[in-house]
Amino acid sequence: MAPVSSIDPFSAEFLRDPWPRHEELREAGPVVWLERYGIWGMARYEEVHAVLLDWETFCSSAGVGLSNFRTEKPWRRPSLLLEADPPQHSRARKAINRALSPRTVRELKAEFDQSAAALATDLVGRGDVDGVRDIAEAFPLDVFPRAIGLPQGEAQAKEARAHTREALLTYGNLAFNAFGPRNELTRKAASASGPAIEWITARCERSALLPGGLAARVYECADEGLVTEEEAGLLVRSLLTAGVDTTVVALEQALRGLATHPEQWKLLHDDPSLAGPAFEESVRWGSPVQTFFRTATREVTVAGTTIKPDEKVLLFLAAANRDARRFQDPDRFDIRRKAVGHVGFGAGIHLCVGAAFARMEGEAVLAALASEAASIELAGDPVPRLNNTLCGFSSLPLRLSS
């Protein structure tokens, strides 16, 4: 008999500080019955990793949130990437892989570094800043819309840029809450999201996107017959959904880790080439995307527990990333550790397609900040931003000094 837990992983209490509950779930057993939702939970690295690799048994096409698309109507058309299995997934993935090829992403590096350097100079000049608004949101919202090719009017059209940022964040907040139950968080995110949904939908059209951007590259895949025009639009929607909040929260986790571990900041300040590993460790330690679901396609036994077809499995990526069976001293934020193998970007066929883009953003920001600021510390209590999937903050008061 599998252990049964009454933990609600989508309650405010859980989301405010998930780490002690992760430990509980991990130690309860390899497979835990979460009675509150009638679903299975896995919080150990070995099982989480194995399930991610076995897409035939644990599918994504029934949705990677709590809702089962076989019996419930999704809140939007399912993603061709995230909420699909081979062979449909393979075709979409091929197109998006091509649009986000390593070469394409590398071409953005100079721009990212430049934007990060300007930001860092400004921040250190100010001293007291909000790590969320002034860094973690400011950077991605600067570079991402430009990289995608979202038109934002003239350089001085501040209003248009603010509108873009607002729409991207509102939409992301909705999408990531919607993977959870229809709780207060999801309802609240949905209630004010109409204009953002319309905005995103309109931006997915070919005619709304600038030539030369990543979105235009997705449409080139339609020109080549790899996907249809309509599919290209949905793939652009994937970029707009998955590309912002994830990197915002990753940067928040990086800043929190570094601000609370002065010795780690010193290492980074002395050697900014550690920015890459520091970002990777932040994704392991903070797991911006905390959970995803899979759905069993057949009866399967995992570590002695039988899972029936159509049953939902909640994968605690964040708990797996802090499993002492896999990572030594896992709660320690250590930018010199080999964080490779973490499941913060997932694993298997759905492994984050934007990881290179995200890593380049993280590396640019951390390297620029580390070379400008000799110290970074909390100047107040971080305020968690509760979300059914993301582990971020609504405010992170920081003090930087040169």
| Interface residues toward ligand 8QM, by CB under 6 A | 79, 81-82, 175, 238, 241-242, 246, 289
- Residues 170 and 109: beta-carbon distance below 8 Å: no
**Rounded least distance, CB 242 to ligand 8QM, Å:** 3
Nearer to ligand 8QM, 142 or 231 (CB): 231
Nearest to 209 by CA among 181, 240, 243: 240
Nearer to ligand 8QM, 67 or 305 (CB): 67
Nearer to ligand 8QM, 82 or 307 (CB): 82
**Rounded least distance, CB 204 to ligand 8QM, Å:** 11
Burial class (CB in 10 A: 0-12, 13-18, 19+), 6: exposed
Beta-bridge mates of residue 400: 376
**Rounded least distance, CB 61 to ligand 8QM, Å:** 13
**Rounded least distance, CB 83 to ligand 8QM, Å:** 7
Residue 109 tokens, joined: 């590096």
Nearer to ligand 8QM, 246 or 388 (CB): 246
Q: Is the dihedral of CA 251, 254, 259, 265 positive or negative?
A: negative
**Rounded least distance, CB 325 to ligand 8QM, Å:** 25
Nearer to ligand 8QM, 175 or 218 (CB): 175
Beta-bridge mates of residue 377: 399
In eight-state DSSP terms, residue 243 is S
Q: How far is CA 240 from the centre of its chain?
A: 12
In eight-state DSSP terms, residue 289 is B
**Rounded least distance, CB 53 to ligand 8QM, Å:** 17
**Distance between CA atoms of 355 and 345, rounded to whole angstroms?**
7
**Distance between CA atoms of 287 and 318, rounded to whole angstroms?**
5
Nearer to ligand 8QM, 289 or 343 (CB): 289
Q: Using omega within 30 degrees of 0 as the cis cutoff, is the peptide bond preceding 87 cis? A: yes
Nearer to ligand 8QM, 120 or 242 (CB): 242
Give CA separation, 220 vs 30, 143, 213, 217, 234, in Å: 45, 22, 11, 5, 14
Nearer to ligand 8QM, 170 or 305 (CB): 170
**Rounded least distance, CB 352 to ligand 8QM, Å:** 7
Give CA separation, 357 vs 105, 107, 361, in Å: 6, 11, 6
**Rounded least distance, CB 89 to ligand 8QM, Å:** 10
- Residues 286 and 391: beta-carbon distance below 8 Å: yes
**End-to-end C-alpha distance for the chain, whole angstroms:** 58
